[in-house]
Amino acid sequence: MTFPTNGRSSSVWMDDASELNFPPLPGDLDTEVCIIGAGIAGLTTAYLLMKEGKRVTVIDALGVAAGETGRTTAHFFPPDEWYAGLEHKFGTDKARLVAGAYASATQLVEDIVAWEAIPCSFERLDGYLYNLPGSATDLSEEFLAAKRAGVHVDFCDRVPGLSFDTGPCVRYRNQAQFHPVQYLVGLADCLVRNGVAIYGQTPASQVTQTSQGECVSTAHGQIRAETVVVATNTPFNNRVVMHTKQAGYRTYVIGVLVPKGSVPRILLWDTGDPYYYVRLQPLWHHPNHELLIVGGLDHKVGQDVHPEHRFQELEQWTRGHFPMAQSVEYQWSGEVMEPADGLAYLGRNPLDSDSVYVITGDSGNGMTHTTIGAMIIRDQLMKRPNPWITLFDPARKATHGLGEFAREQANTLSQYTDWVKGGEAESAAEIAPGQGAIVRDGTSKLAVYRDDGGGLHAVSAACTHLGCQVHWNSVERSWDCPCHGSRFGTDGAVLHGPAHTPLAAAELPAAQEEPGRAAGQPRPASPRH
């Protein structure tokens, strides 16, 4: 099947879903609500507003589930900050509000699956949090904070049924998992049957306010709407404000065959930094096996010169803890946006009109946060009270995460020093097939990729968002911005915002082909790492 995607790796969800083909926008149109992004955030918002009788149009740069929803591990689980962290930052009352929002979002997904009869393997499961050896995390503190937040938790001696002893752990009852792409297939089918227009291959470049309302500009025409919802993982329509309050991280996943029944059907997380997370997924083409999905080892976007090593580390950890693990069937990576204070940004977009909304800052809880965002935006549009609006307000200050905020800003500023350094390769002749490197060309720098056939492709190395120098991602064969998480294809096309303009085309000087090293010979690791 043909599945549009924003990277070279492919998840089990992409390989196990019906084909999704939606045509590009045919020209200018008018609608009540224009939703930009056809992942779980966009389609859930479209579904809830469709139910309210709104006339909705959805557009996506690629297509349904082609972005980060197709790269998740699809857990519905406690916040990344855990309840002890939330209580420390926000207090018990707000931690209780978060717990209620998470429970309501999970219930809504379960209800939609039932209402629309979506075959997406939705399953309620218990989740377990345990300490890595040497961790200083006090699990009893987390247990008590979760109880105060109203979460159904237990303190256990160990996680049951595993081949290794986890030691004491917290059990969170009634969490969930599902097949995210099959869920979106079902949602998209329901939306189309009920008159919602969905257009793929339609990247939005601008949202502007006019006397007639909001105007979304695309390469295929303009969409005039009363309301715009930007559900693109990170907003492209906000140049600075939102991007100083969150940071993009790459996360890595492998899928390993295990004999059916050899691993308990649970969700599992540890307290490491970065941490590992584990779940199971049934496989229709392997009736005697299941897929053990193991993820983790996150790092800032564009800030690892050898991201392919993350898969090796995941496999090593998996085989050390799950001796029944067999072949690695899948490996993929995705991008999550980490907010400074641990809570997503859901609702009206700061410094914009009251008719523009964003859903961003998923913090690894994308399935949950995006669903909460859809509920908040529905209630704001319908002028209904919602207890979570202030809590997740995108305009809030990062007063509860100032230390993390300061560290992220310092990290971002430090990336701009790449411009005063030399290139990663002296000439394009050093770049091996299937690889890329930054090459200096006089006073400028080029991002140069050599394809598997030996052909060279050059674009400007300057990210079109705020001018940071992009870095090569060897896993996805993309150019990634280490400042704010934008990603570009080898041809310069935008794969992930906040950038919305491709990397500038560039000519590779003939002198760059003069070999300082034999063409195709691997280049050395970049000295900046």
pTM for this structure? Answer: 0.93
221-230 vs 29-36, strand pairing mode: parallel
- The answer, yes or no, to whether residue 439 has pLDDT greater than 80, is yes
Q: Which among 418, 360, 320 is positioned nearest to 36, based on CA atoms?
A: 360
Q: How many residues does the chain have?
A: 529
Least confident range of 158-167, 429-438, 440-449: 440-449
365 & 502 share domain:
no
225 & 364 share domain:
yes
* Residue 46 · residue 194 · CB < 8 Å: no
476 & 431 share domain:
yes
Domain boundary among 358, 373, 407: 407
403 & 436 share domain:
no
Rounded to a whole number of angstroms, the distance between the first and last alpha carbons of the chain is 39
In a domain, residue 350? The reply is: yes
Domain boundary among 407, 439, 464: 407
In a domain, residue 42? The reply is: yes
498 & 447 share domain:
yes
Distance of CA 114 to the CA centre of its chain: 26
pLDDT digit string, tens, across residues 37-81? 999 999 999 999 999 999 999 999 999 999 999 999 999 999 989
For 438-472, give one letter per residue: b (16+ CB within 10 A) or e.
bbbbeeebbbbbbeeeeebbbbbbbbbbbebbbbb
Give the 3-state DSSP-derived string for 447-509, with helices as H, strands as E and coil as C: EEEECCCCCEEEEECECCCCCCECEEECCCCEEECCCCCCEECCCCCEEECCCCCCCCECCCC
The whole-angstrom separation of Cα 379 and Cα 372 is: 11
Q: What is the mean pLDDT of residues 380-392?
A: 98
Query: What are φ and ψ of residue 106, in 5° steps?
Result: -65, -40
Q: What is the mean pLDDT of residues 384-398?
A: 94
Q: Which helix (H) or strand (E) holds 42?
A: helix 40-51
If one counts the domains in the chain, the total is: 2
- The answer, yes or no, to whether residue 520 has pLDDT greater than 90, is no
Residue 245: strand, helix, or coil: coil
Radius of gyration (Cα) for the chain, nearest Å? Answer: 23
pLDDT digit string, tens, across residues 270-308? 998 878 999 999 998 889 999 999 999 999 999 998 999
CATH number where 205 lies: 3.50.50.60
pLDDT score recorded for residue 204: 96
391 & 436 share domain:
no
Q: Label residue 400 by pLDDT band (50, 70, 90).
A: low
Q: What is the mean pLDDT of residues 410-439?
A: 82
pLDDT score recorded for residue 409: 66
pLDDT digit string, tens, across residues 308-324? 999 999 999 999 999 99
Q: What is the mean pLDDT of residues 156-171?
A: 96
Please identify which residue in the block is written with the tokens 């002296």.
426
In a domain, residue 505? The reply is: yes
In a domain, residue 110? The reply is: no
pLDDT score recorded for residue 404: 63
pLDDT digit string, tens, across residues 333-360? 999 999 999 999 999 999 888 999 999 9
- The answer, yes or no, to whether residue 1 has pLDDT greater than 60, is no
Average predicted confidence (pLDDT) for the chain: 91
pLDDT score recorded for residue 133: 79
- The answer, yes or no, to whether residue 419 has pLDDT greater than 70, is no
Residue 278: strand, helix, or coil: strand
Q: Which helix (H) or strand (E) holds 2?
A: none
The whole-angstrom separation of Cα 300 and Cα 483 is: 9
For 214-237, give one letter per residue: b (16+ CB within 10 A) or e.
bbbebebebbebbbbbbbbbbbbb
The whole-angstrom separation of Cα 25 and Cα 376 is: 28
Domain that holds residue 484: 422-513
Domain boundary among 378, 407, 436: 407
Residue 312: strand, helix, or coil: helix
CATH number where 438 lies: 2.102.10.10
In a domain, residue 121? The reply is: no
Residue 445: strand, helix, or coil: strand
Q: What is the mean pLDDT of residues 239-249?
A: 85
